[in-house]
Structure 1
Amino acid sequence: MIKKIILIFLIILYLTGFLLSFPYIFDNLFGAEKLDSIRNFFEYGTMFCSFLVFNALLFKNKYTSVIAVILCFLLSINFLISASCYLIYHSGFNVGMAISILESNPDEAISMSYMFILPGILFFVFLGMLLYSVKYLKKDIVQFNTKFITIALLWLILPFGYHLKHTYISNKGGGKMIKNVYYHLSDFNTALNIQRDINEIKKNIPVFNIKKIQPGIENVILIIGESERKQNMSLYGYRKKTTPYTDAQVGNMMIFDNAVSPAGITNLSVPLILSSIHPDEFAYHYDKLSYNIINLANQSGYNSFWLSTQASAKGITAIASMAKNKKWINGFDEVIVPELKNVIQKKEDKFIVLHIMGSHPNPCNRIPPNWNSEGLDCYDSSIRYTDSVFKNIFSTLKNTNSVVIYASDHGLKIQGDKLLHVDSKESTQVPFFIWYGDKVPASYRITGHEPKQTQTTYIYPLIMKYMGLETPQHYKNEENKYLNLEMKSMEYDKLPE
């Protein structure tokens, strides 16, 4: 009796994981498409039961049982992804998240490991129940016969049938994506295809139609922050003094009061900021990422530099790799300042990208051990630490012909004690400002506040301006299109709060 209860509970757990990853199926249960949702539950329940029988048959032989363990382990990983998305991000899984997983690095994974304790426990519970149930079913299969073999093969046959249906009969959109017992597999397959496409941009060096209309600023510096909410910066009115050094520079800055990011995760937002590709094109024309600000600088007579304290990520690194000089530096963000000092000593026009860790989760790990947090929590303290790095950068550049453009890649949504990467207006509100060195010509020095909503893709034509180039009359930032985690372009105003 206990064995049957465990088996039934396992099936419910599997379907719960499926539902957590595709919450719209649950929502449809109460709408016009409830029959489709019921059918989905039945189909995935059938495939999972078939999967159990298939592995039970494999367990009848000590050699094939190794294959069964591997298959069960992989399905448990599939469940772990569902549990992690729900417990950590309160959302389903999607292609954008698959890209982030594939582009993560060991340091990043370790820094975020504390968030996966509960999902990890559930992973082992699911795996244990799965192996226990397979062994239990093995005893009920006395001999191989047509019935058991047919049931065992359903989980392999049905996806092929769904593929034929959606290819040759009808496709409502999305069916092919999830019709597999490993329901996250197609998202990862799509993400891998995206990565291959992005890597192709490194082979395509475009020729820009550019026109020099005046001498540019000697040092054009772009700082790309990480996960910094403007709502937590005293520069933007936050009650805690988290940006004292930047606050003191207000008279020497242009501050965009209502800046928003073009996407909710780094691997989408940064390429959109650094290239002229439109969100509508992102899922289909990755070759257009070659029209990026690094290649533009190279063809405009600027020596290009990419200095980063973030470990490489394939999508962003594809653009970074086009810089003539690039360096990834280990340590807290302050280590980037000596590198900057060395670079600006060169008497030439330079375009410099500083990609910093900022407040990247876990923010507690972004602060040096001896850093005085002054009673702030880890997130606010990480912002104050970033501000101290800015102090050193501003001091280094004060008596130079330099302009610093700063924007965070995206913000975060606060839900309880969690900082979430989700599609929402709250998580797109970012800091965006321009700071000037003392020797910047008056024609470039525009200070004050810009109250209009400004998408950070405006950085691209802004950098063109500071390089002395003629800027386009219209640019994609005017449309304020947003690329969501499903890799679909949408109107920013339609984002939930």
Structure 2
Amino acid sequence: MLKKIIPILTIIIYLIAFLLSFPYIYDNFFGADKLDSIRNIFEYGIMFCSFLVFNALLFKNKYTAPIAVVLCFLLSINVLISMSCFFIYHSGFNVGMAISILESNIHEAMSMSYMFILPGVLFFIFSAMLLYTVIYLKKNVVTFTFKFGAIALIWLILPFAFFLKHRYVSNKGGGKMIKSVYYHYSDFNTALKIQEDINMIKKNVPVFNIKKVQPGIENVILIIGESERKQNMSLYGYSKKTTPYTDQEAGNMMVYDHAVSPAGITNLSVPLILSTIHPDEFRYRYDKLSYNIINLANQIGYNSFWISTQASAKGITAIASMSRNKKWVNGYDEVITPELRKAIQTKENKFIVLHIMGSHPNPCNRLPENWNSEGLDCYDSSIKYTDHVMKDIFNTLKNTNSVVIYASDHGLKIQEDKLLHVDSKESTQVPFFVWFGNKVPSEYRITGHESKLTQTTYIYPLIMKYMGLETPQHYKNEENKYLNLNMRSIEYDKLPE
């Protein structure tokens, strides 16, 4: 009986590890997307069972058995990563963590080794169970027949089928995705490609022709929100009280009433905001991302920080990597405030980017369990939670020489009950405001409302101003070019409503 139980437990542990790395699948199991969760669990379960049969067949030949051992070892490492994230960081895995692993060294790994004792023990237990299961199937179940041969190939065929479906049939995420029994493979593959881009951009260190015209503000802080519609913020006239604290601070802010993003997704809009690259150049001159606000801050003597609760993504991570201090933290957005407190302790000029999850789909997953939504739906409640985070940040900086620039990377279009990333004027309308600490010099403290249409690429020259630099007479925000999802630059006025 025990011989049959171990294979079943092996399958269950594999699926549990999978859910630990993708907790939203488990959360959705009890929500409106339960069918998607069931489908995902079924698909990965089928691929894993096929993987077991494939390796059982390999074990039937002494020359191919070592290949099976290697494949099982790699799968056990995949599970080890899931277990480590759960027991150490209490979160799923992401590309940012993959980059951290690739960039770590022996000394850093040894200093953290005590944290991996429990995951390490579980790794050896799972490895033993996995090999036992494969050998059990080899001896008692699997034979060289067409049926088992077909089953053994499923785990190799399905990833290719998922890729074709994702590319040619439907694509919710807007990018490439290949489901695989090694479910962390895509994270590491993306991380390696990001590193290639980072290395290319790092090689091109620009020298800025800049002029210092006055002392800058000590702490220049940029908060990049996520998927926040200004239409759902009481700061901009929304009927529901979704930004109560920010509303109270409006008299101490410059509010841009008609701000628009330069693109409809994060991977396009944030690099356009943080660097001088023009939408016309984005497809062909990716190396120009090196002309970014982090490199500028470093050159003029500002200590640079990048603190994020978001997973990494190509151009964003390339820019973030140039910060002298960078950290990806796990948890809800409120965990970013203690990191900010640490960053501002030293008496030096600092440029700090806080990249938060905000209202990133699914907004229900952006809220702590004890968060009181007060009757608001998940999206509005996520905006109110961001306002709560802003309250903590403002209180932290209230009696300092600090300026906070806040803007969302892009908005969303509402169609029926769906929040969509599409090319439309509705989904470009974003919050954009500047808040001042009490010790900011009067020459910088300009409050009120800006009524003209303002593209958030204006943030770049605005940061230059707060750093005491001479700002360019003309900048790309004046053209208001928009980079669509096909990565084509168009006039903003040509966007559909």
Question: 1:196: how far off?
Answer: 4.7
2:334 is the alignment partner of 1:337: no
2:488 is the alignment partner of 1:411: no
Match of 1:98 among 175, 180, 193: 175
Question: 1:359: how far off?
Answer: 0.3
Maintained 8 Å contact 2:162/2:178: no
SS at structure 1 position matched to 2:427: helix
Q: 1:226-281 CA distances to partner (integer Å, 9 max, x unpaired)?
A: 00000000000000000000000111000000000000000000000000000000
Question: 1:78: how far off?
Answer: 1.3
2:165 is the alignment partner of 1:79: yes
Distance change (3 Å), C-alpha of 1:199 and 1:265: farther
Q: 1:317-347 CA distances to partner (integer Å, 9 max, x unpaired)?
A: 1100100001111111001111111111110
How many residues align structurally?
A: 348
Q: 1:388-444 CA distances to partner (integer Å, 9 max, x unpaired)?
A: 110111111111100000000000011111111111111110000000001101100
Question: 1:74: how far off?
Answer: 1.3
Q: 1:118-139 CA distances to partner (integer Å, 9 max, x unpaired)?
A: xxxxxxxxxxxxxxxxxxxxxx
Distance change (3 Å), C-alpha of 1:62 and 1:434: same
Question: 1:71: how far off?
Answer: 4.7
Give the partner amino acid of 1:98: G
- 1:194 and 1:329 map into 2 onto residues whose CA distance is 19
Maintained 8 Å contact 1:423/1:495: yes
Maintained 8 Å contact 1:198/1:286: no
2:283 is the alignment partner of 1:206: no
Give the structure 1 partner of residue 39 of structure 2: none
Give the partner amino acid of 1:380: D
SS at structure 2 position matched to 1:400: coil
SS at structure 2 position matched to 1:390: helix
Maintained 8 Å contact 2:194/2:314: no
Maintained 8 Å contact 1:401/1:440: yes
Distance change (3 Å), C-alpha of 1:296 and 1:62: same
Question: 1:98: how far off?
Answer: 2.3
Distance change (3 Å), C-alpha of 1:61 and 1:374: closer
Q: 1:346-385 CA distances to partner (integer Å, 9 max, x unpaired)?
A: 1000000000000001100111000110000000000000
Give the structure 1 partner of residue 346 of structure 2: 346
Maintained 8 Å contact 1:198/1:287: no
- 1:282 and 1:67 map into 2 onto residues whose CA distance is 40
Give the partner amino acid of 1:77: F
Give the structure 2 partner of residue 241 of structure 1: 241
Give the structure 2 partner of residue 464 of structure 1: 464
Give the partner amino acid of 2:228: E
Q: 1:79-132 CA distances to partner (integer Å, 9 max, x unpaired)?
A: 2454443xx58xxxxxxx226999xxx89x99xxxxxxxxxxxxxxxxxxxxxx
Superposition CA RMSD, Å: 2.9
Question: 1:311: how far off?
Answer: 1.9
- 1:204 and 1:421 map into 2 onto residues whose CA distance is 32
- 2:478 and 2:382 map into 1 onto residues whose CA distance is 32
Q: 1:150-207 CA distances to partner (integer Å, 9 max, x unpaired)?
A: xxxxxxxxxxxxxxxxxxxxxxxxxxxxxxxxxxxxxxx9xx9898556511222111
Give the partner amino acid of 1:360: H
- 2:194 and 2:213 map into 1 onto residues whose CA distance is 37
Give the structure 2 partner of residue 382 of structure 1: 382
Maintained 8 Å contact 1:100/1:267: no
- 1:388 and 1:350 map into 2 onto residues whose CA distance is 24
Maintained 8 Å contact 1:253/1:433: yes
Give the structure 1 partner of residue 391 of structure 2: 391
Give the structure 1 partner of residue 283 of structure 2: 283
Where do 5+ consecutive residues of structure 2 fail to align? Answer: 1-144
Distance change (3 Å), C-alpha of 1:73 and 1:347: closer
Question: 1:70: how far off?
Answer: 3.9
How high is the TM-score relative to the length of structure 1? 0.66
Maintained 8 Å contact 1:202/1:319: no
Maintained 8 Å contact 1:198/1:289: no
- 1:471 and 1:423 map into 2 onto residues whose CA distance is 30
Maintained 8 Å contact 1:334/1:389: yes
Give the structure 1 partner of residue 52 of structure 2: none
Distance change (3 Å), C-alpha of 1:351 and 1:437: same
- 1:488 and 1:306 map into 2 onto residues whose CA distance is 29
Equivalent residue runs for 1:484-495 within 5 Å: 484-495=484-495
SS at structure 2 position matched to 1:403: strand
Give the structure 2 partner of residue 267 of structure 1: 267
Equivalent residue runs for 1:437-448 within 5 Å: 437-448=437-448
Maintained 8 Å contact 2:305/2:353: yes
- 2:365 and 2:443 map into 1 onto residues whose CA distance is 41
Where do 5+ consecutive residues of structure 1 fail to align? Answer: 1-58, 90-96, 111-188
Distance change (3 Å), C-alpha of 1:440 and 1:72: closer
SS at structure 2 position matched to 1:357: coil
- 1:411 and 1:101 map into 2 onto residues whose CA distance is 27
SS at structure 2 position matched to 1:336: helix
Maintained 8 Å contact 1:399/1:439: yes
Distance change (3 Å), C-alpha of 1:61 and 1:325: same
Equivalent residue runs for 1:47-446 within 5 Å: 70-71=156-157, 74-85=160-171, 97-98=174-175, 196-197=196-197, 199-446=199-446
Give the partner amino acid of 1:295: N
SS at structure 1 position matched to 2:430: coil
Distance change (3 Å), C-alpha of 1:306 and 1:73: closer
SS at structure 1 position matched to 2:280: coil
Identity among equivalent positions (%) equals 76
- 1:478 and 1:386 map into 2 onto residues whose CA distance is 29
Give the partner amino acid of 2:463: I
Give the partner amino acid of 1:348: E
Maintained 8 Å contact 1:302/1:351: yes
Give the partner amino acid of 2:356: I
- 1:380 and 1:427 map into 2 onto residues whose CA distance is 16
Give the partner amino acid of 1:369: E
